[in-house]
Structure 1
Amino acid sequence: MDSAHVGDIVGALGTIKQHDTLEGRTRLQRFRMLLAIIGPGLIVMVGDNDAGGVATYAQAGQNYGMALVWTLLLLIPVLYVNQEMVVRLGAVAGVGHARLIFARFGKFWGAFSVGDLFVVNALTIVTEFIGVSMALGYFGLPKGISVPLAAVLLFAVVAGGSFRRWERFLFALIAINIVMFPLAFMVHPSVSETAKGVIPSFPGGLNSTLLLLIVAIVGTTVAPWQLFFQQSNVVDKRITPRWIRYERIDLWVGIVVVMLGAVAIMAAAAFGLAGTDAIGNFTDAGAVATALRDNMGHTVGALFAILLLDASLIGANAVGLATTYTLGDTLGKRHSLHWKITEAPMFYVGYAALLGVAAAVSFSPDHVLGLLTQGVQALAGVLLPSATVFLVLLCNDKAVLGPWVNTMRQNIIAGVIVWSLVLLSLALTAATFFPNLATSTLEIGFGVGALVGLLGGIGIWFARRRAERRATEQTAKELGNLDPDEVEAIDDIELSRAERKAILEADRDAWRTPALDTLERPAFSPVRMAGMIALRGYLVIAVILVGVKVVQSIMG
């Protein structure tokens, strides 16, 4: 769709020519190539620890100590599995996530998916400007100056017409995250208390307030915008299938950074405010910085405020680009950081308008903005199952990914993730409707839900095996009525496992998705269609319930 998406890989830390390969390269040369690739995975992960993330992790630490560290550990496989799938989609298909959804599922489902993204992303950017105003407000700069200044800076960085310059600026912001180490050290953390938090527990009982926070942690750690941003950024950086293994390393680097940052923020609030009246009374991230200053000294408060400012700027940049990348995919307009403003006006006008509207909304009353921050993260967590379902369907589409389609193991892990997220949102729904619901009842519900998911997974596996068997029988007829088992063994007669693997790797490196307009759109079976409609209907209800919970909190 966009000619700027083809050419040399021009990264912040190096360049790779369009037709370069790894053959004949020394270890040092391979390392330099890895440095050139690093970017999309690191940026999307660090952008995940945005203003809403800082506020959510600080709330967890201030209200529950280190008791919720286990939620972060459980989210590591979710982060990797989801983002690795979009890496493959971007590198192989060469188009953004929204473009694939519209092309493979049609305008109806595409509009639903993009509509969710635009609403949540716009609200998310509002929370980023809230973070900017709180952070700079700590140093005495009024909101009337800090917010417009941040908006101008964010636009200037993106509108330079240079992908490398933009990525270098983001790397400079990411480097500031180093302050999380002295911050965590200066609050005198307890290793034993942190270790206890690894064991799953529900402090104070599994009620709607705790569930909303857990959903918010899920939503801020694994947000839907990440899928759209990383796939489009992989495409914009011109990463092709031969570099997927390096992009996976990039992703793991980002995951390590985001997990360290989340634990550091949680620890700063938990240990830095221990023994004060602030414990258990979270209001917003700005108040955390002030409370840390009053209890631990100006340096600790300033470090927290710097981390909040940095997170807000990175988050606003990444979320804004995720939105305008998607807008370009949807409208079929140029959408690349390689273009100048005059060459891709729609891309930059959309980005500027998004920043302007979000900056204006951020001037709403403070008590509303504080609760909006948590509500946005919870909405992202509730909507994540829907985004992940589309992602899994695309990664099983052989016409799109060819030899890069999901393996059975990847599908099992993805299925477990989707069902776990659905169960979590179901629990939030039940706790909102019935606030006095006992913890044991919710735990039983989780157990029943897990059993239903297991039985459903077994049923899907048998159905898939039956379909594969039928396909094999059909092939046997075409080959002269051979026994199906003989057909399955034909490829193994002449090729060893190592030879088959080498052929597959060579096929993968060279395989690209054909022009999407030439592909026949996959047909939804009645069962799949019913499941998609049921999921969509339930998510609408869940979104309404999150809104109800936030309104209840605003009204006390």
Structure 2
Amino acid sequence: MTQSSKPAATSGKKQSLWAKLGPGLISGAADDDPSGIATYSQVGAGFGYAILWTALFTFPLMVGIQTISARIGRVTGQGLAANIRRHYPPWLLYGIVLLLLIANTINIAADIGAMGAALKLLIGGPAHWYAIGFGLLSLGLQIFVPFPRYAPILKTLTFALLAYVATVFVVKVPWSEVAYQTLMPSLSVKSNYLLAVLAVFGTTISPYLFFWQASQEVEDQRAAPGEEPLVEAPEQASAELQRINIDTYVGMGFSNLVAFFIMLTAVVTLHLHGITDIQTSAQAAEALRPLAGDFAFVLFTAGIVGTGLLAVPILAGSAAYGIAEAFRWHIGLGLELLHARGFYTIVIIATVLGVILNFTPVDPVKALFWSAVINGVISVPIMVVMMLMAVRVDIMGRFVIGRWLRIFGWLATVSMAIVVLALFATWLD
């Protein structure tokens, strides 16, 4: 096993804030992937100020559920799928990881396609060839770059999201109106509005983020000298749980801030100018140019490429963690290809299929819609199982979650379930 760059929890050394950021920051940043950018642009353009409240509402929910997933991994020394395998029926495990693989593969296709289209907007040329190049680059980084050098690359790529913070400050924003409409939104029970809210929830609270953050905690723990699962080394708990809290709060805060700015950019540059039908992130960037100028266009478009390079490995990796843990294969980006062939095979399959889908007649917008539906549907049972595991003494030992994590974890679960059920009810009508 390769060694992590993270100091052992027992070393007694103080860590900088940047050193404490890892799985939480990367998970949060990956949440704003190109397909997420498309979703946020769509709902911002389509519903204006009435959708901005979702970024505030989902923040504590994200913090709660992602902290729980991280704790499960760090406390038990096993990822989510491995814990589900040990404590729940096989049909539940296999159903979840299969749907996770399908949804992630579709997301990879959408992200790679968006990256190719964005690069074409910036420099011209063939978008499909760019998509192939991005897929190969992603695979190369995951398979051939040792994890201690690869993890800092992912952390650095989170800076790509600052493009969306910068974009807001090069366009005219009526901040007082934004503040009022965000805190006092005009809500609706119409099916198209509920679909938009579900899209935001499904994009923000996504199963692949649960699996990724839990498994990355396991990776870091196994790779760092002297670190053990907290159930076996409770003396390490104080420093590690504090690090997880900081990492997750910062990561989810960063994620939701960027999501808010993407929606806000779409509101003030597209919706308020009568452009309400945006289907892709590249289309949003192209529509931005005549309204906000070339600089905003370049920032927005370059951000699509940067976030895609961050998100595609995480989508493929989270699917691989789920499948490999379900079948008890050797897992981890810290292992070489020959030592974790099953794990890397899933990474390759998911990425290659994602590239191939861009060369088929499959409508990427419709595929992404069904991916969001799948994510929304499978999020609920996964979150229920996570909440049940997190309070079981036989799984978490003395580190069962406390009252506030239970409140926000269940609030996230119930909120997602209500939105999904409300959407299905409107369809039945």
**Normalising by structure 2, what TM-score?**
0.91
Query: What displacement does 1:322 show?
Result: 0.3
Deviations 1:54-111 (A, max 9, x none): 0111112111222211111111111111111111111111011101001101312211
User: In structure 1, what is the equivalent of residue 106 of structure 2?
Assistant: 123
> Could you say if the C-alpha distance between residues 275 and 264 of structure 1 is closer, same or farther in structure 2, counting changes exceeding 3 Å?
closer
Distance 2:68 2:400 in 1: 9
Match for 2:365 among 367, 370, 387? 370
Question: 1:472-551 maps to which residues of 2 (within 5 A)?
Answer: none
Query: What displacement does 1:277 show?
Result: 4.2
Residue 38 of structure 2 contacts residue 279 of structure 2 at CA under 8 Å; is this kept in 1? no
Query: What displacement does 1:202 show?
Result: 4.3
Query: What displacement does 1:408 show?
Result: 4.1
User: In structure 2, what is the equivalent of residue 344 of structure 1?
Assistant: 340
Distance 2:405 2:349 in 1: 39
Distance 1:172 1:421 in 2: 31
Residue 330 of structure 2 contacts residue 342 of structure 2 at CA under 8 Å; is this kept in 1? yes
Residue 71 of structure 2 contacts residue 244 of structure 2 at CA under 8 Å; is this kept in 1? no
Is residue 2:10 matched to residue 1:20? yes
User: In structure 1, what is the equivalent of residue 173 of structure 2?
Assistant: 189
User: In structure 2, what is the equivalent of residue 314 of structure 1?
Assistant: 310
Query: How many correspondences in the alignment?
Result: 414
Give the aligned residue type for 1:322.
S
Residue 87 of structure 1 contacts residue 244 of structure 1 at CA under 8 Å; is this kept in 2? no
User: In structure 2, what is the equivalent of residue 75 of structure 1?
Assistant: 58
Is residue 2:390 matched to residue 1:407? no
Question: 1:4-83 maps to which residues of 2 (within 5 A)?
Answer: 4=1, 10-11=4-5, 15-17=6-8, 20-22=10-12, 29-32=13-16, 35-83=18-66
Match for 2:354 among 355, 358, 363? 358
Residue 65 of structure 2 contacts residue 408 of structure 2 at CA under 8 Å; is this kept in 1? no
Query: What displacement does 1:248 show?
Result: 1.3
Distance 2:219 2:34 in 1: 25
Give the aligned residue type for 1:159.
I
Distance 1:418 1:202 in 2: 24
Match for 2:243 among 243, 246, 260? 246
Bigger RCO of structures 1 and 2 (CA < 8 A, at least 6 apart):
2
Distance 1:199 1:150 in 2: 40
**Normalising by structure 1, what TM-score?**
0.71
Residue 23 of structure 2 contacts residue 247 of structure 2 at CA under 8 Å; is this kept in 1? yes
Residue 173 of structure 1 contacts residue 310 of structure 1 at CA under 8 Å; is this kept in 2? yes
Match for 2:78 among 95, 101, 109? 95
Secondary structure of the 1:348 match is helix
The percent of aligned pairs where both chains have the same amino acid is 23
Deviations 1:299-322 (A, max 9, x none): 221211111122222111111110
Unaligned runs of 5+ in 2: 222-226, 231-235
Query: What displacement does 1:21 show?
Result: 4.2
Match for 1:398 among 389, 393, 396? 393
Residue 157 of structure 1 contacts residue 169 of structure 1 at CA under 8 Å; is this kept in 2? no
Unaligned runs of 5+ in 1: 23-28, 435-556
Kindly report the root-mean-square deviation, in angstroms, between the aligned alpha carbons of the 2 structures. Answer: 2.0
> Could you say if the C-alpha distance between residues 272 and 409 of structure 1 is closer, same or farther in structure 2, counting changes exceeding 3 Å?
closer
Question: 1:277-356 maps to which residues of 2 (within 5 A)?
Answer: 277-278=274-275, 280-356=276-352
Give the aligned residue type for 1:16.
P
Residue 27 of structure 2 contacts residue 213 of structure 2 at CA under 8 Å; is this kept in 1? yes
Match for 2:267 among 263, 270, 274? 270
Residue 71 of structure 1 contacts residue 214 of structure 1 at CA under 8 Å; is this kept in 2? yes
Secondary structure of the 1:237 match is helix
Distance 2:406 2:243 in 1: 22
> Could you say if the C-alpha distance between residues 147 and 388 of structure 1 is closer, same or farther in structure 2, counting changes exceeding 3 Å?
same
